[in-house]
C-alpha cells in the first residue's frame, strides 16, 4: 500500500514534506521520523506576526483549503499573511498508514489524537519558522477540533481562533455517527481487518461510507431545494453514487479510519480532568465560533453551548442549506460570510 | 423461516387472521390467500359511522398502536369508536416473507406497494365489516403513507385523516436514507441474498441497521438532553447497542426489506401521472397534518409543503425532541398533543 496514486503532489500539491523527528503519542507508541505535508502561501514578515495556521479536516488535504479559502482579496490573503496549511497526521499526505513501514504500516498505524497533531504543528511552527505566536488559527470540522486544541493547549500562542463547523468536545451523537460510518468500511469482507491490498478491494464498504456521508454531510433542505442538480445530478441517488462515492473511492480506508477515531476522541477537557468549562476558560484568543445553520453533525446549539464558555468570544452562525459540507465551498454566500467574519476577526486588536 | 417466534400472538396479540382471498399486486404478481392480521377495539355502532382505521408503521405491529395510542379517555377511545388496527402486509404478522410458502417465501416475496395494502384494507372493511366510510384514518410514518393513500384513493370513504410524521410522497433524501439502512442488512454475508436460515445469521447487519436507525430515528436534541438516560442507558453507544439493537434483532430481515421498499416507493401522485398537487387535491377528508418538530426523516417543512396542497387541511406540528421515534410514545407531552389534535379533529363535522 505504499503506492496510492491518490495521495501525491499531482492531485494535492504543491506541498513540502517537513520532518519533525520522532513523535511520542498520547495514546502510547511513537511515530518515528514524523513527516508533515505543509503548503504555505505568502511571506512571513520580519516581525513574524502575520502567520496564520490552517489545519485540515477528515478526508481533506491542503489543496481544498487553498482552492476554497485562500486567495488575493480573500480573508486569507497571501499578499498580507503567511498562511501555513498543515495536513493532519493520517490524512494520506503527512505520515499515514499507507506510507508508513514496518509495524506502523496499514492496520498497525497507531492511534493518533488531535493533541498529537497540535503538538507536532507547534514543533513545526517554532522550529521551522521560529514563530512564537499565530495571528489566527482557522479550520473546519476536524480543523475546528485542532483549532480548539491549539487555543486551549497554547493560549499565549494563539491570538485569534476561528473554529468553523466543529466542536471542542465531540458529542455522543457524533461518536455513534462515526461508528456507523466506520463500520460501513470495516464490515466489508474485502477490508480484511485493514490488510486489504488496495482501496478497490474495499470498494463496497467505501461506497456505503460515502452514501452515509451524503446523508449527514448535506442537509435535507439541500436536497429539498434540488441543490444536487446544481452539481449535475438529476437524483439524490445519482449524486450519492457518483459525486460522493467518486470522492471517497480512491482514498485509503486505514487513513479514513485513523482520522475517524481521532475525531471521535477529540476533547479539550482532557486538559482539565473532564471539566469542559475550565478547558475553554483557558482560551485567550479572540474567538469567533462559526457553526453552519443546517449542519446536522455539528448543530448550532452544540457550538453555541461551547461558545458560551469562551471569554470574549462571539457566535457567528453561517447560513447555508448546504449543511456541514458547505465547507466544500459550493455555496458562494457561505464563503462570503466566512470571509466577512474572518476579516472582522483579523481587524480585532488582541493585545 | 416459517417459525420466527418474534411474530406471534404471545408478543403481539390478540389479533385475528382474516383472509381476503388473492391479492393482485400493482407491481405485478399476486399474493394467494392474502391474510391480514387485524386487532379491533370497541364496537361498531348500528349506523356504522364510528369506525377508525389505524395502519401500522415500519417494524411495528398492532400491539404498539394499542399500547401507546388506544385507551379509555384517549382520543382513540374504544368506548366510543370501533378501532380497527390492520398490520401492513410484510410486517411479519400479516402475509409476509417468512410465513409465505413456495415461490413467495423469503427472498421470493413479491414487491408490495402502499396501494396494495390500502386496497386490501378497503376490501377487508367493506366485506368483513360492511363499512362504506371511516370516521378517521390515523397512522404514523408508514401509517401516514397509508393514511394519505386512503384519502387520495377513496376520497368518499375517508371522512377525516390524520397523517402523523410521514409524507404522501417519499422524498429523495429519504430514499437514500432507506437505501443505506437496507444495505446495512444486505451487505452482511450472512444475509445470503435473503436465503439466511435465521435472523441470527444476519445479526451483524441487523445491528448496523439498528445503529443507523438510532441516528435518524431520534434527534440530536434528544441525545443532547440526555434522554437516552431516561431509557436507562448511560451513553448513546449503550442505548444503540442495547435498546435499539435489541429492538430489531429478532425481526425478519426480508420483512424489514419488504417494508423498506414499500416506504421508499410511496407516492400518491401515481394516481395523477406524477402531479402531486392534483393527487392531494382529490382529498375530501378533513385532514390534520401532524409532523414532529425534531423529525429528521420527515421534517416539518416537507410535511407543510404537502399540507398546503390539501383543501381545508390544518398543519398541526407536534413538539418533541424525541424526533421521529417520538411515535414510540416515550414523551407523554407528545401523546397529549396527539390526543388533543385527534379529539378536535373528531369533533369537526364533516358533511
Mean pLDDT confidence for B248-260 = 98
3-state SS assignment for residue B49: coil
Considering only CB atoms, A237 lies closest to which of B176, B220, B236, namely: B176
Q: Which residues contact B126 (CB under 8 A, 6 or more apart)?
A: B132
Residue B94's alpha-carbon distances to B13, B38, B103, in angstroms, are 12, 8, 17
End-of-domain residue from the set B216, B236, B259: B259
Residues on chain A touching B296 (C-beta within 8 angstroms): 220, 296
Considering only CB atoms, B176 lies closest to which of A189, A204, A214, namely: A214
User: Beta strands A30-31 and A23-24: pairing type?
Assistant: antiparallel
Q: Per this entry, what is the length of chain B?
A: 351
- One domain for residues B251 and B278: no
**Per-residue pLDDT, B142:** 98
The residue to which cell 366510543 is assigned: B80
In a domain, B206, yes or no: yes
- One domain for residues B250 and B294: no
Chain B CB within 8 Å of residue A235 CB: yes
> Which residues are paired to B54 by β-bridges?
B85
Mean pLDDT confidence for B12-36 = 97
Q: Helices (DSSP H) in B24-102: which residue ranges?
A: 62-69
Nearest Cα residue to B235 out of A175, A237, A289: A175
Instruction: Measure A26 CA to nearest chain B CA, in Å.
Output: 24
Contact A183 B208 (CB under 8 A): yes
Nearest Cα residue to A94 out of A132, A124, A128, A66: A124
In a domain, A3, yes or no: no
Chain A CB within 8 Å of residue B323 CB: no
Phi, psi (5° rounding) for residue A291?
-75, 165
Distance CA B106, CA B99 (A): 8
pLDDT above 50: residue B223: yes
A231-247: per-residue pLDDT in tens?
999 999 999 999 999 99
- One domain for residues B255 and B271: no
A253-292: per-residue pLDDT in tens?
999 999 999 999 999 999 999 999 999 999 999 999 999 9
Q: Which long-range contacts (CB under 8 A, 24 or more apart) does A318-321 make?
A: A318/A164, A318/A165, A318/A290, A318/A291, A318/A292, A318/A293, A319/A292, A319/A293, A320/A292, A320/A293, A320/A294, A321/A219, A321/A221, A321/A222, A321/A225, A321/A227, A321/A293, A321/A294
Q: What is the dihedral of CA B87, B92, B96, B101, to 10 degrees?
A: -140
Mean pLDDT confidence for B199-228 = 96
User: Beta strands A16-19 and A35-41: pairing type?
Assistant: antiparallel
Residue A297 has which C-alpha cell? 453533525
A62-98: per-residue pLDDT in tens?
999 999 999 999 999 999 999 999 999 999 999 999 9
**Sheet architecture: strand order including B51-55:** B16-19, B35-41, B82-86, B51-55, B136-140, B160-164, B286-289, B314-315
Chain B residue closest in CA terms to A211: B180
pLDDT tier at B3, thresholds 50, 70, 90:
confident
Is B209 among the residues known to form the active site? no
Question: What's the burial of B137, exposed, middle or buried (CB within 10 Å: 0-12/13-18/19+)?
Answer: buried
> 144-173 in A: which are within 8 Å (CB) of B?
171-173
The residue to which cell 498508514 is assigned: A97
- One domain for residues A25 and A145: yes
ipTM of predicted assembly, 2 dp: 0.93
In a domain, A330, yes or no: yes
Mean pLDDT confidence for B45-71 = 98
In a domain, B3, yes or no: no
Q: Is A84:A241 a contact under the CB 8 Å cutoff?
A: no
Question: What's the burial of B10, exposed, middle or buried (CB within 10 Å: 0-12/13-18/19+)?
Answer: exposed
Domain harbouring A140, CATH code: 3.40.50.1820
3-state SS assignment for residue B246: helix
3-state SS assignment for residue A86: strand
Q: Is B174:B120 a contact under the CB 8 Å cutoff?
A: no
Question: What's the burial of A14, exposed, middle or buried (CB within 10 Å: 0-12/13-18/19+)?
Answer: exposed
> Which residues are paired to A24 by β-bridges?
A30
**Per-residue pLDDT, B204:** 97
The residue to which cell 366485506 is assigned: B127
Considering only CB atoms, B296 lies closest to which of A189, A220, A235, namely: A220
pLDDT tier at A3, thresholds 50, 70, 90:
confident
- One domain for residues A101 and A17: yes
**Per-residue pLDDT, A256:** 98
**Sheet architecture: strand order including A35-41:** A16-19, A35-41, A82-86, A51-55, A136-140, A160-164, A286-289, A314-315
User: Beta strands B160-164 and B314-315: pairing type?
Assistant: unpaired
**Per-residue pLDDT, A1:** 44
- One domain for residues B147 and B285: yes
Is B295 among the residues known to form the active site? yes
Interhelix angle A203-217/B203-217, rounded to 10 degrees, is: 20
Which is it for the CA torsion A71, A75, A80, A85, positive or negative?
negative
Nearest Cα residue to A168 out of A186, A184, A154, A151: A151
Distance CA B302, CA A35 (A): 49
Residue A303's alpha-carbon distances to A50, A306, B75, in angstroms, are 28, 5, 40
In a domain, B1, yes or no: no
Distance CA A261, CA A106 (A): 15
pLDDT above 70: residue A2: no
| Active-site position among B141, B219, B293, B313 | B141
Residue B61's alpha-carbon distances to A92, A135, B139, B143, B342, in angstroms, are 48, 60, 12, 11, 21
- One domain for residues A64 and A133: yes
Q: Is B51:B78 a contact under the CB 8 Å cutoff?
A: no
User: Beta strands A82-86 and A30-31: pairing type?
Assistant: unpaired
End-of-domain residue from the set A193, A227, A259: A259
Instruction: Measure A94 CA to nearest chain B CA, in Å.
Output: 31
- One domain for residues A215 and A94: no
Considering only CB atoms, B220 lies closest to which of A211, A224, A296, namely: A296
pLDDT above 60: residue B1: no
pLDDT tier at B249, thresholds 50, 70, 90:
very high
End-of-domain residue from the set A242, A259, A276: A259
Distance CA A145, CA B28 (A): 53
Residues on chain B touching A294 (C-beta within 8 angstroms): none
Nearest Cα residue to A120 out of A262, A289, A276: A262
In a domain, A23, yes or no: yes
B130-152: per-residue pLDDT in tens?
999 999 999 999 999 999 999 99
List, by residue number, the catalytic residues of A.
141, 295, 324
Question: What is the CB neighbour count within 10 angstroms for residue A231?
Answer: 12
Question: What's the burial of B3, exposed, middle or buried (CB within 10 Å: 0-12/13-18/19+)?
Answer: exposed
- One domain for residues B207 and B160: no
Q: Is A204:A190 a contact under the CB 8 Å cutoff?
A: yes
Q: Is B310:B144 a contact under the CB 8 Å cutoff?
A: no
**How many domains is chain A partitioned into structurally?**
2
- One domain for residues A163 and A72: yes
- One domain for residues A119 and A163: yes
Q: Which domain holds residue A219?
A: 174-259
Distance CA A298, CA A292 (A): 8
Nearest Cα residue to B91 out of B138, B59, B54, B124: B59
Chain B CB within 8 Å of residue A177 CB: yes
Residues on chain B touching A223 (C-beta within 8 angstroms): 171-173
Mean pLDDT confidence for B237-247 = 96
Question: What is the CB neighbour count within 10 angstroms for residue B171?
Answer: 18
Mean pLDDT confidence for B41-68 = 98
- Considering only residues A282 and B3, tell me which one the structure prediction assigns the higher pLDDT: A282
- Average pLDDT across chain A, whole number: 97
B168-183: per-residue pLDDT in tens?
999 999 999 999 999 9
Q: Which residues contact A254 (CB under 8 A, 6 or more apart)?
A: A1, A96, A97, A98, A106, A107, A109, A194
Chain A residue closest in CA terms to B212: A180
Mean pLDDT confidence for A212-222 = 96
User: Beta strands A286-289 and A314-315: pairing type?
Assistant: parallel
Cα angle value B32/B34/B38 (rounded, 5°) = 170
pLDDT above 60: residue B2: no
Q: State how far Cα B207 lies from the chain centre.
A: 21
- One domain for residues B197 and B219: yes
In a domain, B251, yes or no: yes
Mean pLDDT confidence for A320-339 = 97
Contact A208 B183 (CB under 8 A): yes
Nearest Cα residue to B185 out of B212, B218, B214, B217: B212
Distance CA B56, CA B59 (A): 8
Distance CA B260, CA B90 (A): 10
Q: Is B61:B87 a contact under the CB 8 Å cutoff?
A: yes
In a domain, A281, yes or no: yes
Domain harbouring B185, CATH code: 1.10.1740.110
Amino acid at each position: 500500500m505504499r503506492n496510492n496514486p491518490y495521495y501525491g503532489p499531482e492531485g494535492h500539491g504543491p506541498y513540502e514534506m517537513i520532518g519533525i523527528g520522532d513523535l511520542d503519542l498520547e495514546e502510547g507508541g511513537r511515530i518515528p521520523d514524523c513527516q508533515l505535508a505543509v503548503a504555505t502561501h505568502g511571506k512571513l514578515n520580519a516581525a513574524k506576526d502575520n502567520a496564520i495556521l490552517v489545519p485540515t479536516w477528515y478526508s481533506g488535504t491542503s489543496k481544498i483549503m487553498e482552492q476554497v479559502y485562500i486567495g488575493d482579496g480573500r480573508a486569507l490573503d497571501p499578499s498580507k499573511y503567511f498562511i501555513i496549511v498543515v495536513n493532519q497526521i493520517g490524512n494520506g499526505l503527512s505520515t499515514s498508514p499507507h506510507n508508513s513501514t514496518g509495524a506502523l504500516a496499514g492496520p498497525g498505524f497507531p492511534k493518533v489524537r488531535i493533541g498529537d497533531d497540535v503538538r507536532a504543528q507547534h514543533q513545526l511552527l517554532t522550529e521551522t519558522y521560529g514563530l512564537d505566536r499565530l495571528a489566527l488559527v482557522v479550520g473546519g470540522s476536524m480543523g475546528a477540533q485542532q483549532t480548539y486544541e491549539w487555543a486551549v493547549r497554547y493560549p499565549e500562542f494563539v491570538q485569534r481562533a476561528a473554529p468553523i463547523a466543529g466542536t471542542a468536545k465531540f458529542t455522543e451523537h457524533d461518536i455513534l455517527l462515526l461508528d456507523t460510518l466506520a463500520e460501513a468500511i470495516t464490515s466489508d469482507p474485502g477490508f480484511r481487518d485493514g490488510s486489504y491490498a488496495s482501496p478497490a478491494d474495499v470498494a463496497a464498504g467505501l461506497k456505503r461510507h460515502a452514501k452515509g456521508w451524503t446523508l449527514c454531510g448535506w442537509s435535507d433542505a439541500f436536497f429539498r431545494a434540488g441543490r444536487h442538480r446544481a452539481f449535475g445530478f438529476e437524483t439524490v441517488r445519482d449524486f450519492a453514487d457518483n459525486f460522493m462515492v467518486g470522492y471517497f473511492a480512491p482514498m485509503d480506508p486505514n487513513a479514513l479510519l485513523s482520522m475517524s477515531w481521532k475525531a471521535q476522541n477529540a476533547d479539550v477537557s482532557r486538559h482539565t480532568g473532564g471539566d469542559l468549562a475550565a478547558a475553554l476558560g483557558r482560551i485567550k484568543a479572540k474567538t469567533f465560533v462559526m457553526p453552519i445553520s443546517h449542519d446536522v453533525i455539528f448543530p448550532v446549539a452544540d457550538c453555541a453551548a461551547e461558545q458560551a464558555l469562551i471569554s470574549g468570544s462571539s457566535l457567528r452562525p453561517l447560513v447555508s442549506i448546504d449543511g456541514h459540507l458547505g465547507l466544500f465551498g459550493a455555496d458562494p454566500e457561505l464563503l462570503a460570510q466566512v470571509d466577512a467574519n474572518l476579516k472582522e476577526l483579523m481587524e480585532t486588536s488582541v493585545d
